[in-house]
Structure 1
Amino acid sequence: MPLLGLGTWENTDPDACTNSVKTALNMGYRHIDTAQIYGNETEVGAGIEQAAVDREDVFLATKVWIDNLSYEDTLKTTQESLDRLGVDTVDLLYIHWPARAYDPEETFRAFNELYDDGVIDRIGISNFEPTDIETAVEASDAPIFANQIECHPLLQQDAVRETCAAHNIEIVAYSPLARGEVFNVPELTKIADKHDVSEAQVSLAWLRDKGITAIPKATGETHIRDNWESLALELNDADISTIDAIDRTDRRVDPSFGPWNQ
């Protein structure tokens, strides 16, 4: 799984979504993330089709929405996602949240069936807290590959990261720029100025140093390229220590059904 991908949450303009996926792939990105609830799987698929990149070179992920997590609905809506994306398989399929129709036994029965049938290459979870992770590991016969969570210098998610590490589960960070708040953090601005880069690049480089995959959303070529250039930024130990010491818990995505609110 490439350590930098393109997120498409709230990328709802059809042309902009297709063009952003195509632009990112032609620039060098090889990881594209979407979800049923985003309403843009068709446009994401069109962007992949239009890019000068073979499908087998793209790591493609989508997510099953919380209303669709019964056994039957998981199987049915996953096939619908594949049809919209225009692909035979996805590289990674996530349970979007452990909420509403989610039932560990039934949901993972469907996910395991999709995995065993080769419809999905990897099983993922998203927004799972430590206790949810433990339950998921118990419920799934197939390995859980990744947990996609909000993660950035203002929400470092130590407990979730530790639990995932104990089970060899990768972390994928959504909203890795804290929905723009990283541009207002003095510690990040100081490091960015020192390296003559953006605060966004500093946040993404910090995540990469931690072994965390980041999927920032970007629509315009300028932002897509700025995020891509973070791959050339190497933070030193002092930079990492400064970011590690940021003492804030600033959750930007906080729905009432989030497991931390239960």
Structure 2
Amino acid sequence: MQRITLNNGIDIPIIGLGTFRAKEKDVYNAVKTALDSGYRHIDTAMIYGNEVEVGRAIKDSGVPREELFITTKLWNSDQGYETTKKAFDDSLKKLGLEYIDLYLIHWYKGEEKAADSWKAMEELYETGHIKSIGVSNFNVNHIEDLLKTAKIKPVINQVEIHLGLPQYNLQKYCESMEIKLEAYAPMQSGGIFANEDIKKIAQKHNKTIANIALKFLVDRGIIVLPKSIKEERILNNKNIFDFSLDENDQIILEKQCNGMRLFPDPDNCSF
């Protein structure tokens, strides 16, 4: 699995398994299947309600802890200095781990909340209980607010990115700050599967539509988190390193941009 280096020197697999809305037996089986087939990067969050099952699958996989990259996230209602530390401890216990590889502020909820939460996360980072810290669903202005008081720069900004919402401007800014972009919903929550243009490209390369969508993002240096509970798709999603998109493919794929969001705009998040 291809890996990239974050601004703190830690490597992360460029493909991870997303677990949004996956619960109980489904998420356990998905994580176990992924780890058994070579995935080493798993993404979850407190609000997903599946940290216990994710942790159980990690333990049962038998994969050495040092080979894994595990992400979880701080929910909005837990933001703040003391509450962040408690929320992190709760997630750590649910996952059954001694440390988390990446801990993210899940959504921007104002400059003060972000600053207080980040201070707590920096302290946990210094103790080694978190190996990397970052943000999720942060626009440029949100990152700028955070950096006013941050001592440690985020390593990652996890946001909605797909062919319809390529986030070129956000990527340009984040790259200028040495922050990697990480894509959730990289296949538009399944919205690309009926796209005839992408289907033709997939047929040309003897690949799936999902492979094309993921390859397009990975070629831009974006970490991707395809979510699935189906074994066939989990296995297939990582098979993107044995072909190349040509110039004509790129032109067609870039034309898929329509600016449509599937999830809330971080500037207008009401929860």
What TM-score, normalized to structure 2? 0.91
Aligned to 2:161: 151
Aligned to 1:164: 174
Distance 2:260 2:194 in 1: 12
Q: Does the CA contact (< 8 Å) of 1:6 and 1:33 recur in 2?
A: yes
Query: Residues 30-88 of structure 1, C-alpha deviation per residue, up to 9 Å, x if partnerless?
Result: 10000000000010101111113111101000000000011111000101100000111
Which stretches in structure 2 are left out of the alignment for 5+ residues?
1-11
Q: Does the CA contact (< 8 Å) of 2:162 and 2:186 recur in 1?
A: yes
Identity %: 36
Residue 99 of structure 2 is aligned to residue 89 of structure 1 = yes
1:101 Cα deviation after fit: 9.5
1:250 Cα deviation after fit: 1.8
Aligned to 2:4: none
Aligned to 2:147: 137
Distance 1:233 1:157 in 2: 24
Distance 1:105 1:244 in 2: 36
Aligned to 2:43: 33
1:6 Cα deviation after fit: 0.1
Residue 248 of structure 2 is aligned to residue 249 of structure 1 = no
Q: Does the CA contact (< 8 Å) of 2:183 and 2:224 recur in 1?
A: yes
Which stretches in structure 1 are left out of the alignment for 5+ residues?
none
Q: How many residues align?
A: 259
Amino acid at match of 1:130: V
RMSD: 1.6
Distance 2:71 2:221 in 1: 19
Counterpart pick for 2:86 among 70, 76, 83 = 76
Amino acid at match of 1:157: Q
Q: Does the CA contact (< 8 Å) of 1:151 and 1:175 recur in 2?
A: yes
Distance 1:113 1:239 in 2: 46
Counterpart pick for 1:6 among 17, 24, 37 = 17
What TM-score, normalized to structure 1? 0.94
Q: Does the CA contact (< 8 Å) of 2:214 and 2:240 recur in 1?
A: yes
Q: SS of 2:123's equivalent?
A: helix
Q: Does the CA contact (< 8 Å) of 1:21 and 1:47 recur in 2?
A: yes
Greater CA deviation, 206-215 or 235-244?
235-244
Distance 1:207 1:229 in 2: 14
Greater per-residue helix proportion? 1
Distance 1:251 1:143 in 2: 27
Q: Does the CA contact (< 8 Å) of 1:71 and 1:106 recur in 2?
A: yes
Q: Does the CA contact (< 8 Å) of 1:115 and 1:142 recur in 2?
A: no
Amino acid at match of 1:187: D
Q: SS of 1:62's equivalent?
A: strand
Q: Does the CA contact (< 8 Å) of 1:70 and 1:101 recur in 2?
A: no
Query: Residues 83-109 of structure 1, C-alpha deviation per residue, up to 9 Å, x if partnerless?
Result: 000111111000000027962321111
Distance 1:233 1:22 in 2: 27
1:260 Cα deviation after fit: 4.7
Q: Does the CA contact (< 8 Å) of 2:163 and 2:253 recur in 1?
A: yes
Greater CA deviation, 132-141 or 214-223?
132-141
Counterpart pick for 1:192 among 186, 193, 202 = 202
Aligned to 1:259: 267
Runs of 4+ displaced beyond 6 Å: none
1:196 Cα deviation after fit: 1.8
Counterpart pick for 1:176 among 175, 186, 191 = 186
